[in-house]
A and B are shown apart, each in its own frame.
Chain A
Amino acid sequence: MINYLLICDLNFTIDKDFSKFEGEGRPLYLDAQATTPVDPRVLDAMLPYMTNYYGNPHSRTHSYGWESEKAVEVAREQVAKLINADPKEIIFTSGATESNNIAIKGVARFYKMKKNHIITTQTEHKCVLDSCRVLEGEGFEVTYLPVLPSGLIDLNSLQNAIRPTTVLVSIMSVNNEIGVKQPLAEIGAMCRKAKVFFHCDAAQAVGKIPIDVESMSIDLMSISGHKVYGPKGVGALYVRRRPRVRIEALQSGGGQERGIRSGTVPTPLTVGIGAACEIAQQELKYDHARISKLSQRLIDQISHSLTHVIRNGDPEHSYPGCVNLSFAYVEGESLLMALKDVALSSGSACTSASLEPSYVLRAIGAEEDLAHSSIRFGIGRFTTEAEVDYTAQKCIHQVTKLREMSPLWEMVQEGIDLKSIKWTQH
């Protein structure tokens, strides 16, 4: 399929400059947390709605509208089933960022007369943290809970942070940088008891680990299409109906999606996320087992041949498809450049443009230099064993080479304690 896309003239060609590497073809893709390829089965489901069935699902008066609406409702059901929700509780959005914005700002603003406190963690996605920051500007108080070095939150500090004026707790399920899984059921139970709404950013978790909004007492949940082998530009927000969560809408208009998100629902994209969720539900167990094996294979190979490798995030309470490793005495960017035929990232894509090291790594207490040396390996449904082996071997090779060039590494090999050195300025 990839060869076909390169050959056919689509008014653009993949610039050879972007892919300077040894062989033919393109880099191996191991950045599953940044995005995932569209599953061919999802594309199959979407295509008719891009070509023939182009009606607006809100057109009430003709069959173009009816067939389009039917497709949207089928997709809604598919998304709902994956998380054990009722289809009426699913709102389609443009992505998890929009869902997070609606959930946090919408709930906070609706209940602001009575409650004005929000709790979240220091390792949330930027859109959650930024939404909270905006609300602080509107007079809300926000508690940003620290995390333990494992990346998990301390349930006691959450309990202590909850006040009578707390309206919302927002804690993500699987962290996009270090893969750590928060204890959703315990958090949900705590929030239910305190009568506080529990919002979960599950963009990296949905379709990869079992999520059940009932057993986990989740009141709002954000879902991303392109993290679960669906198209980019679509997401969903789960909003509980019983007990009812009320939201002040961010986007005004014709009242679509229960008045929470006005705007024409994009049928092809919605069909895509629906199909992606259905496939994910069917293949969740198999994918998880396969990805766990590949993840272990990667880690074993690397740790077998390299020393001074630190795994960021609790290895047990983690999603195996996200492995974040710090290679001491190697600079992260140079390692990424050295591994140019593998598509990887250090830190999250949304903050990769900034010079600061990842705030998530800072939150788990990673030392500054280790934070700069971190690489995130993302393993997905289409990652092969050969790709994992190649990546591991290349990584070992390049890390070794870079370390050989490093005076710090030399000193460590000689047994010098780097912390005892007094560095001088020139």
Chain B
Amino acid sequence: MISVTFVNRDGDSMKVKAKVGDTFLDAAINNDVDLEGFGACEGTLSCSTCHIIFKKEDFDKLPDKPSDEEMDMLDLAYGLCDTSRLGCQITLTESMDGIVVTVPAQVADARNR
């Protein structure tokens, strides 16, 4: 088990424990992390709601480059930046223990406003 921290839109940190081999999306769902609408398509690369932003040094250490399909969905995400990825596509490894990721400020879902 490793620890992963999600920093949400209000700046709150949510530290959770996750299994190596799960994705960031699994980590969020399994621990009931309070993120509205996160992972709407359940990891099938059909949305951009699991959009997370890494710190540069963590981003550079990610093992796989995003596939074309992930890039296509990522292009539609709000707050896209250089270190953005889709959480459902990244598998947790031992070296990611203690990693902190930010969930971007805006979402395409306007229901909460």
Label chain A's interface by main secondary structure.
loop
B76 adjacent to A255 (CB under 8 Å): yes
- B75 contacts across to A, CB distance below 8 A: 246, 258-260
Partner of A242, one of B68, B76, B80: B68
Which B55-111 residues have a C-beta within 8 angstroms of A? 68, 71-72, 75-76, 80
- A88 contacts across to B, CB distance below 8 A: 72
| Chain A to chain B contacts (Cβ below 8 Å), 15 pairs | A88-B72, A241-B68, A241-B71, A241-B72, A242-B68, A244-B71, A246-B75, A246-B80, A255-B76, A258-B72, A258-B75, A258-B76, A259-B75, A259-B76, A260-B75
Docked complex Cα distance between A88 and B72 (Å): 10
- A246 contacts across to B, CB distance below 8 A: 75, 80
Q: Which residues of B contact A (CB under 8 A)?
A: 68, 71-72, 75-76, 80
Contacts A241-B71, A246-B80, A259-B75 known; 12 new A-B pairs at CB < 8 A: A88-B72, A241-B68, A241-B72, A242-B68, A244-B71, A246-B75, A255-B76, A258-B72, A258-B75, A258-B76, A259-B76, A260-B75
- A255 contacts across to B, CB distance below 8 A: 76
Q: Tell me the smallest distance from the CB of B33 to a CB of chain A, in Å.
A: 26
A-B pairs with the 6 shortest C-beta distances? A259-B76, A255-B76, A244-B71, A259-B75, A241-B68, A258-B75
Docked complex Cα distance between A88 and B68 (Å): 10
- B71 contacts across to A, CB distance below 8 A: 241, 244
- A241 contacts across to B, CB distance below 8 A: 68, 71-72
Most buried by B among A242, A246, A258: A246
> Interface code A219-260, partner B: CB below 8 Å = 1, 0 otherwise?
000000000000000000000011010100000000100111
Docked complex Cα distance between A220 and B71 (Å): 17
Who on chain B is nearest to A259 by CB?
Answer: B76
- B76 contacts across to A, CB distance below 8 A: 255, 258-259
- A258 contacts across to B, CB distance below 8 A: 72, 75-76
- B68 contacts across to A, CB distance below 8 A: 241-242
Most buried by A among B71, B75, B80: B75
Q: Tell me the smallest distance from the CB of B49 to a CB of chain A, in Å.
A: 13
Docked complex Cα distance between A38 and B78 (Å): 40
Docked complex Cα distance between A242 and B68 (Å): 8
Who on chain A is nearest to B66 by CB?
Answer: A244
Docked complex Cα distance between A287 and B72 (Å): 37
Who on chain B is nearest to A86 by CB?
Answer: B68
Docked complex Cα distance between A242 and B76 (Å): 17
Docked complex Cα distance between A260 and B71 (Å): 13
